Each structure stands twice: as structure tokens, then as C-alpha cells.
Amino acid sequence: MLEKGKSYRYGRDVNTDLIIPARYMSTTDPDELASFCMEDIDKNFVKTVRKGDIIVAEENFGNGSSREHAPIAIKASGVQCVIAKFFARIFYRNAINIGLPIFEIPEAVDDIQYGDILEYDIDKGWFKNTRTGREFQAKAFTPEVKEIFDVGGLIPLIKKQLGKA
């Protein structure tokens, strides 16, 4: 499905303490977590983010703590997916496990600036920067990641496997 959204573009090492500081982790409520998302790196994020927008960042996105509150906060804020040069390992697993699409497309990160409007098709991993006209195709997920991604997360997959779906 073709969609459109604004880019929130950040640098390298956007760690999970920046995405959601520990001072806000006294709750597991996704909407409450989202209301503090990215606060220490971008005070405008929460004020302006709209459903369908996309976070774009350089290397090592989501490094540091294992807190799943980070991808939960991003997803609940309405962000459709995250594009980075590469992700920290635990964040990568967590995002896929909760059904937040994430893509490693270094050339897209180099092309996209804060505020660029992107056209995209999440299921195909296809993105277009409307400012530059450049198009980008994410590499296919590995089979075990795709299996989780296709059903929307690890819990739906386990329920399916256990016949509890």
C-alpha cells in the first residue's frame, strides 16, 4: 500500500536512553511512553509527529539498554517505520518482535533530510524521497525475521505455532 509521511532525521548512536529516558519507564502504557518519545534529542518530535511519519537515522540506532519501551514508544507515536544505516542488535530484535518495521538502507539515510516527505510501501520495503526524486529498495528480511514480520510480531507467531491464534 502506497503511503506518505514526513522524515525525522537523526545522527548516529540514537540510544534507547534518548528514545525513552528511564525517568519515564514507570509505566508500560504505549501511549504514555509515546508522549515522551525522543524528548532529550528532539523536543519537537512529540508535538509534530503524525501517523505515517518515519524516523531516519545513521549508524547504531537503538544502542544501549534492552528496554522494549523504546520501539513501543516509537510505534505508539504513530511512526510507521525506522530506516537506519544499521541497528543495535537488541533493538533490532525488539522492533521486529513488536511489529515495528525497520530497514537498513544506508543510501537512503544519506539522501534524506529532516522534514523530507517520503512516499513508501512498507510491505515492499520501497521508499521515495519526494524532494530528491530518489528511490530506495530495502533488502529482503532473512527468513526467520520475515516469518515474524509477516504475522506482525513474535507473539502472534507463537500463538499460531501453538494453535492458539
Binding stretches for other proteins (CB under 8 A):
13, 15, 17-18, 21-23, 25-28, 40-41, 59-60, 63-69, 72, 86, 88-90, 93-94, 97-98, 142-144, 153-155, 158-159, 162, 164
Nearer to other proteins, 11 or 132 (CB): 11
For other proteins, the closer of residues 106 and 153 by Cβ is: 153
State the minimum distance, in angstroms, from the CB of residue 159 to other proteins: 7
Q: 116-119, long-range: CB within 8 Å, 24+ apart, which pairs?
A: 116/6, 116/7, 116/9, 117/4, 117/5, 117/6, 117/7, 118/4, 118/5, 118/6, 118/7, 118/54, 119/2, 119/3, 119/4
Q: Which is nearer to other proteins, 86 or 126 (CB)?
A: 86
State the nearest-atom distance from the C-beta of 140 to other proteins, in Å.
Answer: 15
Closest distance between other proteins and the C-beta of residue 33, in Å? 10
DSSP, residue by residue, 71-113: HHHHHHTT--EEEES-B-HHHHHHHHHHT--EEE-HHHHHH--
